[in-house]
Structure 1
Amino acid sequence: MTRQTEAAHRAPLSRDRVLRAAVALADGIGIEALSMRRLAQELGVVPMALYKHVANKEQLLDGMVETVVGEIDPPAPGADWRSAVRQRILSARAALLGHPWAAQVIRSRSGPTPAVLAYMDSVIGMFRTGGFSVDLTHHVMHALGSRILGFTQELFDAPPDPDPQGRATIPPEAAAAYPHVTELAMAAAHDGDSVVGRGCDDQFEFEFALDLLLDGFERLHRQGWTSGPAGRPVPGGDLAPGP
């Protein structure tokens, strides 16, 4: 292992090597602990050597996003728009789950990086190739939001910590005041590792919501839906159920 590390340190430094090392380091120590100095130590170089490849920490983070987005599988050839979009988004989710810091960094960017733009362009192209109008595609992308990159943000933190049997513990006065919230909180055993609420299966909940959205997009597409003036939906026939 030591010989492999020494050999890696002797390998020529390149932008790709710097970015991949930064991604691996962030995976190991967390994005907050990542610094140019720490990365230089990992690569066995002086910090100034990094600046030939990334001008500063912000450019490093942009490049790390590019590296992670590059792990997303390409579109499946010949797939219908729904299957293609679903596969692409779930692949994006897998890529970001492999790097728990990536969603945070993507949200922190002042704008999309070229790789993110290319990915978005690809997804938009799937809807357009599937026959979606520019108008409907515009609203579809708003509806998907961050889900296009495989992550979502819950409104609030997870419910109270569970008891040893895995059920949420809710004070009696709160249970009486908020019976419907309590009913849902008590409906399942809870797991603190879940983003969407202890006990919820993150992957299931993500795919459940994604499939609901895709079903809705398909229905609106079949109905020839269009938005009205100032982007407001046209009432009446455009949303009327089919025969």
Structure 2
Amino acid sequence: MYGWRARLGLMTASGIIAPESEYWLMAPEGVSCHFTKMPFTGGGTKDIIEELKTAEKFLDEAVTLVADARPSAIALVGTGASFCGGYGYDQQLIQKMRSRIGNLPATTGASSAIAALKKVGARKISLAMPYVEDVARVGRKFIEDNGIQVVNSKWLNHRDSFEIAQIPRETIYNLAKEVDDPESDAVFISCVALFVVEIIETLEHDLKKPVVTTNQAIMWNLLRMCNINEKIEGFGELLSKY
């Protein structure tokens, strides 16, 4: 039977396809993943930051729907959608979710990333992103406002979620290597739309430092919220050591 240890309630945008594969790949025995979609692709012509903020408008309904799976903990599976409002916006979203579902443990992509980076001891990071510049700059500021110095950052100028999922692993690998700085304690690859968890260990081997991705960070955070402290191999130091 699936979910006998924990059921994870996961809410993500309709145009994002990576999490359904990545979370089941990382999930330990007895943990099940239950997804609810919210209408968003990122491919429109509107101001992209304002478009990301529309996730909040659909959050109440998404929480209500995912609650039907009786989850042990829930997450807004979105990085830009949870940092687009600046410092503290992710915490506002968490409170909104918890008020809707009876104070169940809840997190977001941005919140989990910050927690994960601090857990691996990263005070300075290199930041790799697929986003357009407007989103990338807001993301960088959010991280720095949360007490982590970004010593270098690069982005690929994509805005459509489905398009981001098509980025080859080789491109992500090369981006992470290019952005890495000797002064950084870790590399953070931001965006839940990327297929990236299967190359984390290769990157860590080659860069000789922790590599954190948003989906990996959310999975780690949710498992710890559910008091599952099992060390999971194959997806980087965050899950195998912390």
TM-score norm. by structure 1 comes to: 0.31
Bigger radius of gyration among the two: 1
Structure number having the greater helix percentage: 1
